[in-house]
Amino acid sequence: MFKKVLIANRGEIAVRVIRTLREMGVTSVAVYSEADRSSLHVRLADEAVCIGPAMARESYLSIPAIISAAKITGADAIHPGYGFLSENADFSAACRDNGITFIGPSPKSIQQLGHKAEARKMAVKAGIAVTPGTKDCVYKDAAAQAAKIGFPIMIKAAAGGGGKGIRIVREASQLANEMNMAQSESKAAFGNGDVYFEKYIELPRHIEVQFARDSHGHTIAFPERDCSIQRRHQKLVEESPSPAVGKKLRDSLEEAAVKLAEAANYVGVGTVEFLLDQQGNFYFMEVNTRLQVEHPVTEFITGFDLVREQLLAAAGEELSYTGGHSVPYRGHAIEHRVNAEDFSRNFAPSVGRVEEWLVPGGPGVRVDTHVYAGYNLPVYYDSMLAKLIVWAPDRASAVARSRRALADFRVKGVHTTLNAHKLIIESPDFQAGKTDTGFMERLLATAEPAAAK
């Protein structure tokens, strides 16, 4: 196992990784921008190195700065977290070339699966249904390629996920402007502006399957997560298992995830994302070659520590479970992403000093966060403050526990999306498990104005 690991990230995921490293007796190194000097991950790590100015391209997206920090501190491995450089093949290669282990897949696997357009090709070769779309990234003849697919289409960033670099285009007249915006956002988020086109499927469920694979040939797939509740392609609520997926469909989804992991000779933890249409047909969408924001719901129902599994795989050890492709699970888990946004003003960004921060607890409740009372929110990064995750023996009990935990959450000084989550949890459609990617839009259209306050 590694002796010292540098975390090339910030915020709650950096805190999350540090805690597993501490449990495993591994020294942690935090990196931070000038805007993050007071961040919790800097306080909790065994060592910390400033890698540049506030702007991400000069700090968290700077491969030379991060490699230098690893060398200076003597780190023998780097954990990329999610976002930033986590799906960057050049970063994985730079780690390898400098004698540092990248805690994630090889550069080749990232090129094959982390690059969304290449992953589509591999899925087709493996016999997995994909949504109609371009075979490669779009560099020219965009209008002709979009017309061939047929509107509406979705423009998608090829180099990363998390809802960045995505635009829906319903008419040809919108294409050029939306493509420029998608490319610019992708370039800013991932350092790569490549995009490709997919046919836009109306009102599907967003289903994903977490998998893990080690260098000894063991591949496992975890029960699916339902990530259908989204706003502007950003996930708000995730749950596992999905109320729309039975055993037969679950087996098929897991089989598809295992096929792709093995076809790419993947080593590490990843996620295959699917669209599930209203007729129960699923289509491959993309692979995230990293840890997902919503990984805690999988940890809650299976008992796994997925960061630990990443470390084991990267260190050349066997996964902690080698009993077959399918992982057993128990109960139901729900995750709420709490963002610094003003729900009463159309989710406008909120910044400032967090005056009060009291998080819920009790049985079956977990909060992953980097925030504390007195923390000043930087304006340069993602707005997520915390993830509230609950577990219960069944879905109805998990919904009731979410309701209680959301009521216990206290924040003052900045606006948050807590009221949005309270609205979601009280929705009859959510309680009945009747959701799709249009759920949030419908809910907000019918919500009483007072619910946002």
Helix, strand, coil percentages for the chain (3-state, nearest 5): 35, 25, 40
In a domain, 110, yes or no: no
- If asked whether residues 172 and 267 sit together in one domain, one would say no
The region of weakest confidence among 273-282, 354-363, 414-423 is 273-282
In a domain, 168, yes or no: yes
- If asked whether residues 88 and 166 sit together in one domain, one would say no
Cα-Cα-Cα-Cα dihedral of 368, 234, 163, 396, to 10°? 70
Distance separating alpha carbons of residues 108 and 356, to the nearest angstrom: 46
pLDDT band at 233 (very low <50, low <70, confident <90, very high): confident
**Domain boundary, last residue among 166, 181, 199:** 199
User: Given a cut of 80, is residue 224 above it in pLDDT?
Assistant: yes
Q: Which domain holds residue 145?
A: 132-199
| DSSP conformational letter for 113 | I
In a domain, 431, yes or no: yes
The region of weakest confidence among 1-15, 271-285, 404-418 is 271-285
pLDDT in tens, 113-152: 877 778 888 999 999 999 888 878 899 999 999 999 999 9
pLDDT band at 452 (very low <50, low <70, confident <90, very high): low
C-beta contacts of 427-430 below 8 A and 24+ residues apart: 430/229, 430/237, 430/399
pLDDT band at 159 (very low <50, low <70, confident <90, very high): confident
Cα-Cα-Cα-Cα dihedral of 342, 345, 346, 350, to 10°? -30
Provide the pLDDT for residue 14.
98
**Domain boundary, last residue among 199, 226, 251:** 199
In a domain, 115, yes or no: no
User: Given a cut of 80, is residue 160 above it in pLDDT?
Assistant: no
- If asked whether residues 333 and 226 sit together in one domain, one would say yes
Collapsing DSSP to helix, strand or coil, 370 comes out as coil
User: Given a cut of 70, is residue 451 above it in pLDDT?
Assistant: no
User: Given a cut of 80, is residue 174 above it in pLDDT?
Assistant: yes
pLDDT band at 453 (very low <50, low <70, confident <90, very high): low
Distance separating alpha carbons of residues 122 and 111, to the nearest angstrom: 11
The count of domains in the chain is 3
CB atoms closer than 10 angstroms to residue 318: 13
- If asked whether residues 178 and 219 sit together in one domain, one would say no
pLDDT in tens, 258-296: 999 999 999 999 999 999 988 899 999 899 999 999 999
Provide the pLDDT for residue 3.
98
Region 246-256: what's the mean pLDDT? 96
Which CATH number covers residue 386? 3.30.470.20
Write the single-letter amino acid at 52: G
Provide the pLDDT for residue 121.
86
Best CA proximity match to 298, nearest among 361, 404, 225? 225
In a domain, 70, yes or no: yes
**Gyration radius from the chain CA atoms:** 21
User: Given a cut of 80, is residue 314 above it in pLDDT?
Assistant: yes
- If asked whether residues 21 and 163 sit together in one domain, one would say no
Please report where in the chains the tokens 């496992």 appear, as a residue: 220
Mean confidence (pLDDT) of the chain: 94
User: Given a cut of 70, is residue 184 above it in pLDDT?
Assistant: yes
- If asked whether residues 220 and 328 sit together in one domain, one would say yes
The answer to whether the beta carbons of residues 312 and 318 sit under 8 Å apart is yes
In a domain, 437, yes or no: yes
Provide the pLDDT for residue 120.
85
**Domain boundary, last residue among 199, 219, 245:** 199
pLDDT in tens, 201-218: 888 999 999 999 999 999
Our answer to whether residue 120 is catalytic in this structure is no
User: Given a cut of 70, is residue 449 above it in pLDDT?
Assistant: no
- If asked whether residues 334 and 193 sit together in one domain, one would say no
- If asked whether residues 195 and 257 sit together in one domain, one would say no
Distance separating alpha carbons of residues 229 and 440, to the nearest angstrom: 6
Angle, alpha carbons 32-110-215 (nearest 5°): 100
Provide the pLDDT for residue 25.
98
User: Given a cut of 90, is residue 187 above it in pLDDT?
Assistant: no
Provide the pLDDT for residue 262.
94
- If asked whether residues 98 and 180 sit together in one domain, one would say no
User: Given a cut of 90, is residue 161 above it in pLDDT?
Assistant: no
Provide the pLDDT for residue 263.
92
- If asked whether residues 370 and 282 sit together in one domain, one would say yes
- If asked whether residues 275 and 355 sit together in one domain, one would say yes
Angle, alpha carbons 192-197-199 (nearest 5°): 150
In a domain, 167, yes or no: yes
In a domain, 256, yes or no: yes
Provide the pLDDT for residue 64.
98
Region 63-89: what's the mean pLDDT? 97
pLDDT in tens, 359-393: 999 999 999 999 999 999 998 998 999 999 999 99
Catalytic residue among 120, 167, 205, 290: 290
- If asked whether residues 225 and 310 sit together in one domain, one would say yes
The answer to whether the beta carbons of residues 262 and 234 sit under 8 Å apart is no
Best CA proximity match to 211, nearest among 157, 255, 150? 255
Which CATH number covers residue 137? 3.30.1490.20
